[in-house]
Structures are given as C-alpha cells and as structure tokens.
Chains A and B, each alone.
Chain A
Amino acid sequence: MVAYLGFCGIMDALTIHRLHFAFTITFHYLFPQLTMGLALLIVILKTVAIRTGDDHYHRAARFWAKIFAVNFAMGVVTGIPMEFQFGTNWSRFSRAAGGVIGQTLAMEGVFSFFLESSFLGAFLFGEKRLGPKAHWFAAFLVFLGSWLSGFFIIATDAWMQHPTGYRMDGAGLIQLSSFRELIANPWVFWQYLHNMTASVVTASFVMAAVGAFYLLTRQHEEYGRTFVRWGVIAGTVSTMLLPFPTGDGQARGVLESQPVTLAAMEGQFHTEAGAPLAILGQPDMERERLDNPLTVPDALSFLTYRRWGAEVKGLDAFPRDTWPDNIPLLYYSYHIMVGLGTLLGAVMIAAAIGVWRGFLYGSRPLLWVLMLAAPFPYIATTAGWMTAELGRQPWLIYGLMRTQDGFSQRVSAGNALFTLLGFMGTYAILAMLFLFLVGREIEHGPEPVPGA
C-alpha cells in the first residue's frame, strides 16, 4: 500500500503531463537554437562573400547550409508535436487561454512557418538558379522566418510569465482585450533578446568547434581558420551581451513581476539587508538554508537594487503556496546557466585575444578547449529555459491559473505515460540519426579549395 501510494505520488497524471511537455520541448529546442543562430551566421558569411567577392566564403556558407538542412529537419519534425500538445495534454489550459495565446501561435504558423518552408528549398537547392544576390535574399528570408518564429514563441511564453492585454469573461475564460499589449508585453523584449543572443552563442561555439576540429586534425585548414575566426567574433560579442544588458534586463522583469521566483533562483531563504550572492551551495528545504555556501557578501543586494546594503526579500516574505514547487532544481538550473555562461564568456575572450594577437590557430590547448566547449551552450540554454519554466511554478499562467488546473483531465496518467515513452524511444533514434548525419557532413568537410 505504501509502495502503491509512492507510485501514485511520482507517477500521477499531473507529473506525467509535465514531464511529457518538459521532455519534448527540451529535446525540440536543441535544434531551433542552432537553426536561429546559424541562420544569422550563414547570412554573415554570404554577406562577406558578396562584399569581398571571395568565393571561399560562398563555399563555407554552402558547407554550413548542409548542416543547417539536417538540423532544420529535426527542428520541424520535433516542433509539430509542440503545437499539438497544448491541446492533447493541456486542454483545460487551452480552453481557458486559447483565445489569447492561440493568437501568437497562429501568427507563428502564418507569418513564420510559411516563410521558412517556402524559401528553405530555394536556399538549400537554388543557388545556381538564383545567382548570388537572390540566393543571399533567400538565406535572409529563412533567417527572418526563424527569428520571427522565435519572437512568437517568446511572446506566447512571456504572456504565461506575465499576462497582459486580457480580461476574464463571464464563463471564467481568459479573453484577449488588447492585441497591442499582448505583442508589446514588456516581458517579451528582454526575454527575446536574451534568448536570441543565446542562440547566436550556441551557433558560434558549434562553428568554432568544427573549425578547431579541422585545425587540430590538420584537414580543411583554410576553412578551419575561417570557422574559428567567425565563430570567435560572433561568440565574443554574443557571450558579452548575455549577462548585460539582456540577462540583467530579464532578471529585473522577474524581480518586478515574480519576486518569489528570484528569491528561489538565488537560494535566498530569508529576507535580509546586504544579501550575499550565492555562487555555490545546495538548497536544504528542510532547514530552509543553503548548505556549504560559497557567497560574495552584499553582492545580491547590489545586483538587484544597485545598492550594497539594500534589503532583498527572501522566500520567507512570500506565502508558501506561491513558492515554486521545485526550488532545488530551479536553483541549480539558474546557477548552471549563469556559471556556464560565465565560463563560455571567458573561453571566448581568451580565443578572441588569440585571434587578435594571431596565436590562436597554432595554440593546440586553446583549440582543444574550443572544440570540447560545443555541448556546453546547449546545456546552458536548456538550464536557462528550465529556470524560466520552473520559476513560473506553481503557476501555468502567472497569478491566473495553476499548473495543476491546466492538464487534460480525461487523459489518464497511463495514456500519457504511454506516449511519453513513445516519444523517448522516437527521440533516442532521432538523436542517433542526427549525430550520425552531422558527423558524416563534418567528416566529409567543405568542398575542396580550388587549386589547392
């Protein structure tokens, strides 16, 4: 009996539906983040090619277009389930809020998916037919479509984090009352910039890592130098923009609209003046403290209020039923994101100095670091999204609807577990296929340099 209750506690319908969405969205987002960042880098490579007349950059862009194609296909096939799951697994949420968030999701389909899918073919297969200028434009439209898609998704999430432009109707449904407030939600601005910056970081590290791999293995070295150089330039700029202003801007939004979330992210259990910033430490929910803390005195007060002695509200300032329901995971997600972001920034600064002073291409240790760093932006973005979504708990729509009230009541835990397992198996195979095909493209390398 005890064992059975335990099973219910872990495997109840709410938990399975949450895991279902968490698993499928986490896997899905591994691909669009590279799509969006790489689309920008490809447009940059093609712009350089046209402006300098150097065909080397056209060939470099062609190589990345092949990786882009595999990655894009993965994003499409894992993205379709996301659009369905609002209805299949979260029907009470969709019934209540579809009149609002359906707007941004439908706009994504109409404005972004049609654009991307129509011009992807021209971009991937039409270079000869279109000529350089029109082909640049096709690449630009694919880039634009993917960044618009990002905008509509962020606008949807931003509304769940910070609902604006709505009213409750007589039937208890949430209806749109101002389209302008929905699109110009102040939460959208920083979250969009922070997220898109992070996608450029991912693409920069991937490009630099492939370049570093070519230089370390002494193949395709001319391309290797180009990939490392442009990866490092874009990576340095984007990692610098991550903490400030974009991350800071988003944290201020959290402070203003979800102060209890900020306290949980920072592991700040008690309200205090001159609050320290926790670098390391494990939240102990029983004793309501951080174990083994490594802190910077007064720094949290300064970062939050720009004053060293300012009072920062801790979790104890808020009713317990508004605390995020998984504070340790939220705290770790946030600290992993910030910690990795800082490390990635340091790597890029070191590499940028290497490019500037001309020693990077011969510095094997630094190239090793660049090559091995590629997975970490993915971990950081995943941790960042976990921070946003765990931080929103226990709300599905902040302050309006609790997560426990949103899932599909008629879809039992057993049915949801069946499809969760199905997705896990499907995505395991997809992941292997993806790595296999991208690995082949990297091993095959760009087209040979003419005359070399």
Chain B
Amino acid sequence: MLSSILPTLWFCLVAAMIAVYVVLDGFDLGAGILHLLVARTDAERRAVLASIGPVWDANEVWLLAGGGTLYFAFPALYASSFSGFYLPLMMVLWLLILRGISIEFRNHLHSAVWEPFWDAGFSLSSALLAVFFGAALANVVRGVPLDAKGDFFLPLWTDFRTGQAGQNAAGILDWYTVLVGVAALAMLAQHGALWLALKTAGEVERRATVWANRLWWAVAAAAVAITIASFGVQPLLKISFAERPWTLVFPAVGLSGLVASRWASAGLRRFLGSTAFIAGLLTSAAAGIYPCVLPANSDPKLSLTVLNAAAGSYGLGVGLAWFIPGILLATAYFVYTYRSFAGKVRGS
C-alpha cells in the first residue's frame, strides 16, 4: 500500500498535466478547426490567429512537459505506448509540424496563394489532431494487446471491431476509437468557439457564438454515446467506480461543465464550463482505468499499472523536489502571459 503512494501521486500529476494540455491547447486547436468557418476575410483570420498567437506555443509545451514527466515517472508506459502507437504518433508529429509553421509563417508574406494555403494547413492539422488525440485516449481506455515483455504493435486499422480478449483483431482505428475521435473533434471545436467568442469581436464573435451553440448538441450527444460505449468496451470502468465511488466527482464535474458551457450567462463562464467538461471527462477516464495505466485486452494480467510501470521510488521522490517548484514557476509564467493578454484582441 505504502509503495503505491508515490506512483499514484505521479499518476495524478501526469493525468493533471495531460488534462491541462487538452484544455489549453484544446481551445487553440478548436480555433483552428473553426478557422475557415468563422473567419472569411484576411482581417478576420488575423483576428483568430491573434487570439491564440501569444499563447498557443506555451499551451503546446504542456504536451512536451507532460510527455517528459510521463517518461520519467512511468518509463515502461512511455516505451510501450510510444512504440506501439508508432504510426499514428508519427502522423501526430507531422501534423504538429504543419500546424506550427502554418501559424508562425502565415503572416510573413502577403500573397493570394500564401495566406490561404497556411489557413487551410492550420485548419486541417487542427481538426486531424483533435481526432487523433480522441482516438489515442480511446485506445488507452479500450486497451491494447500487450505481450509478456510489455510491448505491442497495432496496425492503423483492421476490420473496425474492437477485438476481444485473446484475439488480436483490434486496430488503432475501430468503431469505438473513431467514435471518440469524432467526439473529440466536436468537443474541441466547441471549446475553441467559446474561446473565440470571448476573445474576438464583430463578425467572428457572432459566428463563433452561433457555432458554439450549434456544436453543443453534438457534444452532448457525443458525451452520452462515448459514455455508454466506454462502459461497454472497458469493463474495468464499472469496477473502478463501484470500488471508489468518490471518483464519481470527476464525471459530475464534467456534467456540470457541459451544462454550463451552454446555459451559463457570461462568455467566460461558458468557456470555463467547457474547460470543466473536458477536464472532467479526462479525469474520469484516468480514474476509471486506475490502477491500470495501459490495460491489456489480450490478457488482463499483462496490463501496465502504476506499480509495474513506475520508475524507482528514489527517482520518483527526488523528482518531486524539482517538479513542484518547476510547475509553480510555469504556472506563474502562465498567469503573467494570460493577464497581459487579457481582453478582446483588436480585430479588423
């Protein structure tokens, strides 16, 4: 019991960092998904980019810092999942490259072929990344065919069935992971629409508000669908919530966030609502598979857990000594950056 305290603490920290990543980069991904829909003129598109310009790169750092923290705290999980999800991760990298240069290079040149090209690149890469991240999370929840060494390798798709225990039919894309990928697309788009409504003015704000309201129904339907599907695909979830009923607080936060993201009065509250919704969903998934970090759908005994995937206790202990001040510093930078970036961006 005692030996599981440090690994569990790091499990919570890594899960929190990933949740912070999805919430923060989520709104700039969402802005990208809607970029071509809410902004028609060059001035409007500049306003969309200006609304994420000073923060998107720092938001993305949460992915790197979260990934690095996962690497040091759970080396076996990092090794197994990154090599097993080899092809989709490489595609994520290419999409991140396309997205980064689309944002950074767009405003270097004025030309009828230059800006529209990068606008399309920004939008396409943002949308595909949302789908990939959703599918990635679904793969972790569904489980993967781990072998005795803790390795697996999945093809991109097979027959789109989820695969049963003992069989090896699953691919990275099956009906369940595609469903969660599409759900993530809707959720991040709505999250981004609420951000744009908050940060922009005029036509962009108006269109973003319309999209946020429209997308809410898709998000609500998706939330119901993936909840039912997840309990069907991964029996561990039911067991976890039955064993630790207090963890129902995470889905409760998510649900109230979902309601607030549509019905709260002010724009900021609605944005915080979608923030709570996404964070609630991710923490529910984390709490639902705990103590697994990567369930095996081949043989449950081969699952990677917080205990068998964690680094040595000395390393985990000493890690806290630099992690706590480090993350406090990072939080201070974020408070500074977002405060100096308060208010609506000047659009056209």
A residues contacting B by CB (< 8 A) are: 69-70, 73, 76-78, 80-81, 83-84, 86-89, 91-92, 94-103, 105-111, 113-115, 117-122, 125-126, 129, 169, 173, 175-177, 179, 408-412, 415, 418-419, 422, 426, 430, 433, 437, 440
Residues of A within 8 A of B55 (CB): 121
Residues of B within 8 A of A73 (CB): 100-101, 104-105
Q: Is the CB of A410 within 8 A of B151?
A: yes
Q: How far is the CB of B107 from chain A (nearest CB, A)?
A: 11
Q: Is the CB of B65 within 8 A of A118?
A: no
Query: Given A73-B105, A410-B152, A426-B97, are A117 and B68 neighbors across the interface (CB < 8 Å)?
Result: no
In the complex, whether B175 has a CB less than 8 A from a CB of chain A is no
Query: Given A106-B72, A410-B151, A433-B101, are A121 and B337 neighbors across the interface (CB < 8 Å)?
Result: yes
Q: How far is the CB of A318 from chain B (nearest CB, A)?
A: 31
Residues of B within 8 A of A179 (CB): 318, 321
* A–B Cβ pairs within 8 angstroms, 14 of them: A78-B97, A97-B75, A102-B78, A103-B72, A103-B319, A110-B330, A115-B329, A125-B53, A169-B312, A175-B314, A176-B312, A408-B86, A409-B151, A430-B101
CB-contact partner of A415 in B86, B323, B329, under 8 A: B86
Cβ < 8 Å to A, chain B residues 282-340: 311-312, 314-315, 318-319, 321-323, 326-327, 329-330, 333-334, 336-337, 340
Which residue of the partner chain B has the closest CB to A99? B311
Alpha-carbon distance A334/B75, docked complex (angstroms) = 34
In the complex, whether B57 has a CB less than 8 A from a CB of chain A is yes
Q: Is the CB of A121 within 8 A of B54?
A: yes
Q: Is the CB of B89 within 8 A of A91?
A: no
Alpha-carbon distance A206/B64, docked complex (angstroms) = 30
Residues of B within 8 A of A117 (CB): 57-58, 60-61
Alpha-carbon distance A78/B89, docked complex (angstroms) = 14
Alpha-carbon distance A86/B337, docked complex (angstroms) = 31
CB-contact partner of A98 in B54, B57, B78, B105, under 8 A: B78
Number of residues from B at the complex interface, CB < 8 A:
62
Q: Is the CB of A76 within 8 A of B100?
A: yes
Alpha-carbon distance A418/B108, docked complex (angstroms) = 32
Alpha-carbon distance A77/B319, docked complex (angstroms) = 27
Residues of B within 8 A of A418 (CB): 87
Query: Given A88-B86, A109-B68, A118-B336, are A99 and B315 neighbors across the interface (CB < 8 Å)?
Result: yes
Residues of B within 8 A of A103 (CB): 72, 315, 318-319
Alpha-carbon distance A115/B337, docked complex (angstroms) = 11
Residues of A within 8 A of B76 (CB): 95, 98
Alpha-carbon distance A122/B337, docked complex (angstroms) = 8
Alpha-carbon distance A10/B91, docked complex (angstroms) = 26
Residues of A within 8 A of B321 (CB): 179
Q: Is the CB of B311 within 8 A of A102?
A: yes
Q: Is the CB of A92 within 8 A of B79?
A: yes
Which residue of the partner chain B has the closest CB to A76? B100
Q: Is the CB of A83 within 8 A of B57?
A: no
Alpha-carbon distance A106/B94, docked complex (angstroms) = 22
Q: Is the CB of B83 within 8 A of A91?
A: yes
CB-contact partner of A109 in B69, B78, B80, B336, under 8 A: B69
Q: How far is the CB of A2 from chain B (nearest CB, A)?
A: 30
Alpha-carbon distance A114/B334, docked complex (angstroms) = 9
Residues of A within 8 A of B100 (CB): 73, 76-77
Q: How far is the CB of A344 from chain B (nearest CB, A)?
A: 31
Residues of A within 8 A of B2 (CB): none
Q: Is the CB of A105 within 8 A of B329?
A: no
Alpha-carbon distance A121/B90, docked complex (angstroms) = 28
Alpha-carbon distance A92/B58, docked complex (angstroms) = 31
Q: Is the CB of B58 within 8 A of A118?
A: yes
Q: How far is the CB of A420 from chain B (nearest CB, A)?
A: 10
Q: Is the CB of A426 within 8 A of B94?
A: yes
Residues of A within 8 A of B230 (CB): none
In the complex, whether B96 has a CB less than 8 A from a CB of chain A is yes
CB-contact partner of B57 in A81, A120, A422, under 8 A: A120
Alpha-carbon distance A120/B74, docked complex (angstroms) = 31
Q: How far is the CB of A245 from chain B (nearest CB, A)?
A: 30
In the complex, whether B84 has a CB less than 8 A from a CB of chain A is yes
Q: Is the CB of A106 within 8 A of B57?
A: no
Residues of A within 8 A of B160 (CB): none
Alpha-carbon distance A85/B318, docked complex (angstroms) = 25
Residue with the highest number of chain B CB atoms closer than 10 Å, among A95, A114, A411, A430: A114
Residues of B within 8 A of A114 (CB): 58, 61, 65, 329-330, 333-334
Alpha-carbon distance A111/B325, docked complex (angstroms) = 9
In the complex, whether B1 has a CB less than 8 A from a CB of chain A is no
Residues of A within 8 A of B90 (CB): 88, 419, 422
Q: How far is the CB of A83 from chain B (nearest CB, A)?
A: 6
- The 0/1 profile, CB within 8 Å of A marked 1, for residues 146-161 of chain B is 0000111100000000
Given contacts A80-B97, A91-B80, A102-B72, 17 further A-B contacts (CB under 8 A): A77-B96, A77-B97, A87-B82, A91-B79, A91-B82, A99-B315, A107-B326, A109-B66, A110-B65, A110-B327, A114-B58, A118-B336, A126-B340, A175-B315, A408-B83, A408-B151, A437-B105
